[in-house]
Structure 1
């Protein structure tokens, strides 16, 4: 497989997430009916989750698709040096996302993309609250 083909394979997952995000958010924007707030909030939140997946996966962190897209174009020495980081990349990134500054930055990028769709962020927030079924027991 060529370097270009390996890059395209790595970008296929985020591309699928992007297509789904655009569809979900476009449908929500075009057909939103306040009489069915729960449904539309859930759909908006699903779109938000897809955007989150796109942004997360495109980060050039070893083990994620963003790095996978760049890796074929790196020198063999660099690839070998970063190989051990692949198994820990996502784990370390998730830990870092618990820090308030990085969390705010990451989700401001996600919400910036969601806001481009024209879907009100309040719908996403309502959808998020509705999926937290366990909060009724706390």
Structure 2
């Protein structure tokens, strides 16, 4: 059966996404004003909400690029509404990425939108569809770090600055890890159209385990240390200090005691 082109209702922003965005905005205001001495919990809500918003935008970028590349079935699947509940694998797209942030401070979106690749012609289009998601994380990181590299932090409360720094770290890690050319991640999707049919068939069975494998490797202390040293170097290049990302993570984990140095803004 021939798929219909997306209608206006297929493109309407979901109330679920708007609700998440509203919670994020309110939490951001609470962090800025240090409302009711609940700053750490507000940081948790703000960063988690903004992270989920970025996950939605990540998947939307895949879907929108696929739509313009020829897969008009995207609209009927609900991917253009930014509703995280419409993703084919809500566990991989929302639950696991949020757990990764809580457990290890690692930003790692999972692939979620189902794209009918047979409708798309041209290897470059296939590669661009896969690259669109992590490119969105890069853009999000640029926005989060803009106050730092523009030297526009005057008057910004320390907790809000720390929250932005931690959120920026999540976006940078998400972009880098997603561009790793391992089956199941967007980086492999970028190069897959250029591989031979034989290689793709051999690699295909490992795709469901790529995300878990990457997370497992990052638990190796030596790999973890080298990876986060590289992340810290990138963030320093964008004007974000190690101290700011450290304090952002300490505030985020509201169930733990926040260092006194972070409480007074360094």
Size of the aligned set, in residue pairs, is 136
What RMSD, in angstroms, separates the aligned Cα atoms of the two structures? Answer: 1.4
Q: How far does residue 35 in structure 1 lie from its aligned partner after superposition?
A: 6.1
Task: Give the alignment's TM-score, normalised by structure 1.
Answer: 0.92
Structure (1 or 2) with the greater helix fraction? 1
Question: What is the rounded CA distance, in whole Å, between the counterparts of 1:14 and 1:70 in structure 2?
Answer: 14
- Check whether the contact 1:45–1:123 (CA below 8 A) recurs between aligned residues: yes
Q: Which residue of 2 aligns with 1:41?
A: 162
Shift, 1:28, TM fit: 3.4
- Matched residue SS, 2:255: helix
**Greater relative CO, 1 or 2 (CA 8 Å, sep 6+):** 1
Alignment partners' CA distance in 2, 1:10 and 1:66? 7
TM superposition shift of 1:71: 0.6
Query: What are the ranges of 5 or more consecutive residues in structure 2 without an aligned counterpart?
Result: 1-119, 258-266
- Pick the aligned partner of 2:134 from 14, 33, 56: 14
Equivalence for 1:94: 215
Q: Deviations over 1:4-57 (max 9, x none)?
A: 101001100111000110111112343223761001110111111100101110
- Gap regions ≥5 residues in structure 1: none
1:25 aligns with 145
Q: Corresponding residue for 1:104? A: 225
Bigger shift: residues 74-83 or 31-40: 31-40
Secondary structure in 2 matching 1:135 = coil
Partner of residue 187 from structure 2, selected from 26, 51, 66: 66
Of 178, 197, 201, the match for 1:76: 197
On the 8 A contact 2:148/2:238 being kept in 1, the answer is no
Larger Rg: 2
Q: How has the CA–CA distance of structure 1 residues 62 and 25 changed in structure 2, closer, same or farther, with 3 Å as cutoff? A: same
Asked whether the 8 Å contact 2:169–2:235 carries over to 1, the reply is: yes
| Secondary structure in 2 matching 1:62 | coil
Q: TM-score, normalised by structure 2?
A: 0.49
Paired residues of 1:33 and 1:40 also in contact (CA < 8 A): no
